[in-house]
Every structure is written in C-alpha cells, then in structure tokens.
Structure 1
Amino acid sequence: RRHREDNKVNNAPSRVLREGVVKDLRTRDIVVGDIVEIASNEQFPCDLLLLMSSDSEGKCSVTTANLDGETNLKTFFCPSETCYLTTIDDLWKLRAVIECQLPHANLYDFKGRVEVYRGDGGPIKASLSTENLLPRGARLKNTSTVYGVAIYTGEETKMALNSKMTGNKFSTVEKSMNHFLVFFLVLLVLEIVVCTVLKYEVYDDDTMSDMWYLGVPDNTTSTTSDVIQDSSSFLVIFNYIIPISLYVTLEMQKFLGAMFIGWDDDLMCKNTGERCKCNTSDLNEELGQVQYLFTDKTGTLTENCMNFRQCSVDGVKYVDVGGCIHTFDEDDNSRTFPLHTCPANLVTFLQTLALCHTVEASPKIKAAEPQTVEEDIELSNLWLEYQASSPDEKALVEACARYGVVFEGYIKGELRLSVKGHTKTFTRLQVLEFDS
C-alpha cells in the first residue's frame, strides 16, 4: 500500500515551464529551479517560492489542512521584486539568484533573499519570509493560477521532513501472545536440552548393551556434530509447541475484519458516500475496548459553523430571524418585529463590519438587489462568494450582505461596498493581522 501511494504521488501530472513553454511532466521529474504552474484547487508538488499570481495584487490564498490541520485560508505574497511579472514570457526571461536556509522541518520558519537582475544594472535584492513559500501538500484556493520556483523537492520538503516514521503498534492481544510465545520458547529450549542430556546418560548405562532392539551404537563417544544433530532432532519433534497456526488464524481474522469494516454500511458517510477505510488492521480488536475519546480544542472533529445571531447598537438590540433583521419589543423582549427601515447608526455599524476584515470576494451567480431590509436573501442566490481566513469574519460579512450592505471586494486598491444599491468606495489604511 505504501508503495502504491508513493507511485501515485511520484507519477502525478505537473506543469513545468521548460524552454519558454509550459510542459506536462511527472512530479518526480521536478528539480530545484524549475518554475511550476499551479491552478486553483490543486496541491503544490514541492515547496515553491511564489513568483507570479493571477491576482492583480500578487497574492494567493492557500489552505494547509494537510499539513497542520487548519482549514482556514492563509494568504501568501510574491516577493516585492517579482510583482512586475505578468506573463509566462516574463518568467522565462527572469534572471535571479535565490539564497535560502537549508531544509528543516519547521513549517513556520523560512528565511532567504532573492537577487533580481534587470537590464545591465546590478542586482535588486529582496528578503524572503514564510509568507512567500508555498509548502508541498497545501492547496491553492480562490486564485486561478500561480507560478512558483521549486526550492525544496522530494525528501527535503517540509512535508516530508515532518513525516516521521512510526514504530510498530501492538494490540493487547498481541502483547499477551508475545509473552506466551517467550514462555513457550524457553520451554522448548529446556525440553531440547533435557532430552539431549538424558539420551547420552541412558546410552552410557551398561544395561543398554542388552537392549539390542533399541539400536544403541557400539561406539558411544559423542562429538559436537552428534550433539548438534541430536538437538536438531529433538527440535523437530517438539517444535509443535509453538502455536504457529494461532498466529496464522489471527492474521486472517484481522484481514477479514478490516474488509468487514470497509463493507459496513453503518460506517459509511451519508453525505459523500465514502466508506470507512482501515489503514491498520493490527488494531481492529482495540476498537471494542475504547472507553474514552480525547480531542484538542482546534475543532478537528467538529463542524466549525458560525452564524450571526444578534447585536446591540446604541442600546437597541437587533436579532437575526430567518435571514431578516428584527428588533426586540420594548415591552416584551421575547417578541421581535421586522425592521422595515434601517436607522443611520445601524447602517454605519453594518458598514464597519463589512469593511474591517480580510475577507475576499469572488463572483458567483448574480441575483436581484434586495428591495427591503426584511427581504430574506439566501446566500446561495448572492452574486458573490466570500472566502475568509477566519469563520467569524465570514459570518459577519455574509450577515451584512443579507441586510443590504454588500462587500463587493478589494478592487483597484479600494474597498467597494454596495449599500442599499448605492456603491461606495473606501481606502484601506492599515491591516492589523491576527496573531496568536
């Protein structure tokens, strides 16, 4: 199975810039210095330094779920001295020298520099950091095409360096059987030694000369070869004390148990139709002995789904009811009423939520503009699709879009909003990135 998976990865198709044109090659043929083309939703075949992106700002969005388990989008940028690249011809004519660290396993540490030569002048230097390195195993999102130069390949990639060889795992049954096996081996050795010694003791007895029917040799002198031969004979006689058939039976049981796990309809995902896959059949019997299940707080085993519920603006509470914004009854907080007109302070609040974030918008199916605040707008009908590095930002921006304040994206260096059908533009002064 390991061999098949390796062949699948090594022979995966890749697109590499060779002789000025993009050629189809196998992943194993990529060498350091090759410029690789990656399309949306494709994985990076090696560690790449981002050189050119289809995004006008020279950036791309990537998910690293296969590396660190984080499903949120991360933004990577082209080095400052390669942002002028716009065509494949520019990439092929690029003259540059890249210096970087030796390969190491830290996913969040990369340092280096690039020297770009333009014309007859000297090199223009730019520093490199983690935000410029596209790691192998990550997947490109929300960007149509990027080009990167191979920095680390094969076993030198960060993904390969983090793939530690795991030791053999033994179930409780196997551990118990191994203890019994040691006992039987010791017993077998004792039987062989005792029987070999007794044989020569009996043959040395004078009364054995009268027992001609036992085939006692006339010469009772023993040599080393005779002792080895006799010990081997007793080994053949007593070897059945080792329960070989028990091990064969257990291995067959594990193999069939793994097949039954894959066939079990109760273990099949109802949404995707994907069946359970047993990667380690040696631990099948351990599943029935699990009493406690521990997990961390990253939400790996849960669905991280966030929705806008309610807010308070100038002391007035607003709540989301079926995709529409409602206000609470002043006399009875358990009752809500649909809001037909948005107060100015609520519009300002929604504009703030629709501006202060790092969400990216991409075109989708366009629908009619909402005419009233209470009109229910399904997100599947919106003409924009939002991608965010954090689910809370995405939930807030989607809520604003439902209420008539639509974030249209970062266009030509400006943030564009559609407020009740009227377009407004804003300038982004600074971004305070989230840092744990």
Structure 2
Amino acid sequence: GSFDGPTASRIASGVTNTTPPDDSARASLAPPPAGGELQTISLGHRHLLLQSSYIKATERVYALVVYTGNETKCGMNKKPAPKKWAKIDRAVSRYSMIIFTCQILCALGFGLWGCFRNFAIADEDWYLAMNLGEHVSGADASWIAIVIYPLRFFLLTSVMIPISFKFVVDMSKAYMALVLEWDLSMWDDERGEGMRVKDSSIVEDLAQIDYVLSDKTGTLTQNVMALKALAANGDNLDALPLEALDPNQNTS
C-alpha cells in the first residue's frame, strides 16, 4: 500500500510543561496552551504512577516519563536511615559532653585567675623576676600569658576524660559478644553452630530490657505452634499430646 496522503502514519509528538522535581505527590503536569491542531491534555495526581507501583487488568496504557532516579516522588521522600546507638553509648556521650564542658570552664576560670594573680605578684614582688610573657617582651606579653595559662590548666584537667576509656569500653563489648557466642544453651543442633553476634552495641541493651512486645510471627516461635489449652462451652481443658488425638474420632 501507499503511505502517501492523509492516511500516512505520523509520529506523535508533544511538549510537557511541569514543575521542577519535588516531594509533593499532588504535582500537576500540564502542557502549555497552543493554537492550531495541537490538543491540550491536563495531567494531575489521578494520572500519577508512583515508583514501585504496578498496573493490572489494563489493556493499553500511554505512559509519560517525567521524573527518573532520585528525582521521582519516592526518591525525593527518602530519608537517611537513623543511626542505631545503644542506650549506654548515648549516656556515655552525654556524660562526656558534660564533663568536657566542666573541664573548659575550670580551665578558663583557674587559668585567668592564676594569670591575673601572677600579674599582681609580679608587680608587688618585683625581686622574683617572674617571666609572665614566656620570653616575649612588650605589650604582647600579657596577652600571651592570658592564652597560655588556660591551656596549661586544660592539660592538667585532661585526666577528667581518660584516653583509655574508649578502648576499655570496646574491649568490654568484644568480651560480652564472645561470651554470648560461647554460651552452650544457645547452641543449635540442626545447624551445628551457636549464635553469632553481628552488632556488639546491642549486647549492652539486653540487660536494660523490661518488656518484650512481639506478634505471633516466626521470629520467636520459629513457626512451631503447640496447643496449650482448649476452651469449649465454658469448660477449660488441658492440652493433650498430639499422639493422643484421633482425627477420625468425633468429639462433642
């Protein structure tokens, strides 16, 4: 057949006018109005297909890809995963900040007090020949002393937060993890191995758990359900062993 004339196949084309990528699921897509034979179609949230969505029971679909990758609605609404900190780690960090603040205040207070006190002693007892300027003469000597004295007190109070504290904490975590892995009561005969500690920070929180809230999934039950009790017509019956139950016997 001939492809000339009004029956010839034509490639459809269009222009999409949309807003920049954002996290709003109600963004509208609308091409600009134009004259001639162009057709204007408005697209809104009813025509929006979010990422990871599926369309079923639909014979034909005309798709228009506007946002891809991290510019999609789901990509724009993604949030970074929160950092998992043990309760003890949070407490240690909080106490360390409090101690460090006290250390700074002590260093500034005692350093400035000692500096001005030595200035007064140097003026009264001139025969001591105190070199407050750290071998610097002139007007800059007093300013250098004001800076050096608090630094000296800061070094003297640095033992308030011992450097070996973090090392001792990490070694304690590693030891507790090894003790759990060596526990024979957690040995699995089917797999032929014991438990594996994947995060040593969780070990510290085990002793601080007061309540465990869980559903009936296989996480704790291992998908094995056992009959414990039976209530029928207001009567509570004790559970019978599975071997004692006869499936062919009718009970009333």
Normalising TM by the smaller chain, what interval? 0.5 to 0.7
1:208 aligns with 2:130: no
Residue 177 of structure 1: aligned partner: 92
Residues 14-36 of structure 1: per-residue CA shift (max 9 Å, x gap): xxxxxxxxxxxxxxxxxxxxxxx
Give the conservation status (yes or no) of the 8 Å contact 2:86–2:204.
no
Deviation at 1:238?
Answer: 2.0
CA distance 1:234–1:286, shift in 2 (3 Å): same
Partner amino acid, structure 1, of 2:54: F
Residues 347-380 of structure 1: per-residue CA shift (max 9 Å, x gap): xxxxxxxxxxxxxxxxxxxxxxxxxxxxxxxxxx
TM normalised by structure 1 equals 0.33
- Pick one of 101, 110, 134 that aligns with 2:54: 110
CA distance 1:230–1:305, shift in 2 (3 Å): closer
Partner amino acid, structure 2, of 1:268: W
1:326 aligns with 2:244: no
Q: How does 1:348-427 map to 2 (within 5 A)?
A: none
Partner amino acid, structure 2, of 1:211: L
Deviation at 1:303?
Answer: 4.2
- Pick one of 181, 193, 198 that aligns with 1:274: 193
Residues 254-308 of structure 1: per-residue CA shift (max 9 Å, x gap): 022112222322212222223212222113122123232210244442244589x
Residues 410-434 of structure 1: per-residue CA shift (max 9 Å, x gap): xxxxxxxxxxxxxxxxxxxxxxxxx
**Separation of aligned partners in 2, 1:164 and 1:270:** 39
Give the conservation status (yes or no) of the 8 Å contact 1:192–1:235.
yes
**Separation of aligned partners in 2, 1:321 and 1:199:** 87
Partner amino acid, structure 2, of 1:202: R
1:188 aligns with 2:136: no
Query: How many percent of aligned residue pairs carry the same amino acid?
Result: 17
Deviation at 1:227?
Answer: 3.3
CA distance 1:265–1:299, shift in 2 (3 Å): closer
Give the conservation status (yes or no) of the 8 Å contact 1:170–1:283.
yes
Residues 157-193 of structure 1: per-residue CA shift (max 9 Å, x gap): x9xx99962323222x334433432332122112211
Q: How does 1:30-429 map to 2 (within 5 A)?
A: 101=49, 103-104=51-52, 109-111=53-55, 165-171=81-87, 173-205=88-120, 206-212=123-129, 214-216=130-132, 219=137, 221=139, 222=141, 224-304=143-223, 326-328=248-250
**Separation of aligned partners in 1, 2:192 and 2:60:** 49
Number of residues paired by the alignment? 174
Is the helix fraction higher in 1 or 2? 2
**Separation of aligned partners in 1, 2:249 and 2:81:** 58
Deviation at 1:248?
Answer: 1.8
Q: CA RMSD in A?
A: 4.1
Is the strand fraction higher in 1 or 2? 1
Listed as ranges, the gaps of 5+ residues in structure 2 are 1-47, 62-67, 227-241
CA distance 1:245–1:325, shift in 2 (3 Å): closer
**Separation of aligned partners in 2, 1:326 and 1:110:** 47
Give the conservation status (yes or no) of the 8 Å contact 1:254–1:282.
yes
Give the conservation status (yes or no) of the 8 Å contact 1:113–1:126.
no
CA distance 1:178–1:265, shift in 2 (3 Å): same
SS of the aligned residue for 1:292 comes to: coil
**Separation of aligned partners in 1, 2:111 and 2:201:** 39
Give the conservation status (yes or no) of the 8 Å contact 2:112–2:150.
no
Residue 87 of structure 1: aligned partner: none
**Separation of aligned partners in 2, 1:303 and 1:168:** 26
Deviation at 1:322?
Answer: 7.7
Partner amino acid, structure 1, of 2:220: L
CA distance 1:255–1:301, shift in 2 (3 Å): same
CA distance 1:209–1:302, shift in 2 (3 Å): same
TM normalised by structure 2 equals 0.53
Give the conservation status (yes or no) of the 8 Å contact 1:267–1:276.
yes
**Which protein is bigger by CA-based radius of gyration?**
2
Partner amino acid, structure 2, of 1:264: D
